[in-house]
Amino acid sequence: MKSVLLLAAALTFLAATPAAACLPPPGPPPEAGESAESHAARYAAWRAEQDAQHAAWLHQRQVTLWDEADAVFIARITRVEADRQAYFGDTQRVSLRAEQSLKGRRYRSSFSLRYTDATSCGPLPSFAAINGAVGDRFVVFVRGGRPGQSTVQQTIAPADITDERIRAALDAALSR
């Protein structure tokens, strides 16, 4: 009985507390009579399929970002400041400086990015650069004007680029 009450209290707490991140789907449950090893193998195969689908989605997102961007460039974080997001508490604001153009107009200006909104899955926008440190570089996709909070479509760490067009432009810029 005590464990049921603890479970009920925990579920009530979790239901009343905003989630810091979306939970992944639970995966396939064990089948009747299935061994632990068999279930582990089936779960691993399911997880690999989920990861492959997510990687394909991220890749397609990069393809779309490149196609729709007015400008794409490499930027470096020059400053990190403490910030606060009402829904999630302490976060950070980053200032970036454009360094090398990969597509479109060349920018050399500085701009800042921060979280401005949230969902139950986490803070928005989901720019990788917001979690970066001074000196980190990111590929920045801009649409609709000078780089800023409302025109940056996404920031991606160079190591996470999978689109061959972006990778070729990035490699060429970094070799200069």
Domain 72-174, CATH class in plain words: mainly beta
Each residue's pLDDT tens digit, 64-89: 999 999 999 999 999 999 998 777 78
Side chain identity, residue 130:
I
Q: What residue ranges do the domains of the chain occupy?
A: 72-174
Name the pTM for this structure: 0.80
Q: How far apart are CA 28 and CA 121, in angstroms?
A: 22
3-state secondary structure (DSSP) of residue 123: strand
- Which candidate, 61, 71, 65, 76, places its Cα nearest to that of 174? 76
Each residue's pLDDT tens digit, 88-132: 788 899 999 999 999 999 998 899 999 988 888 888 898 999 999
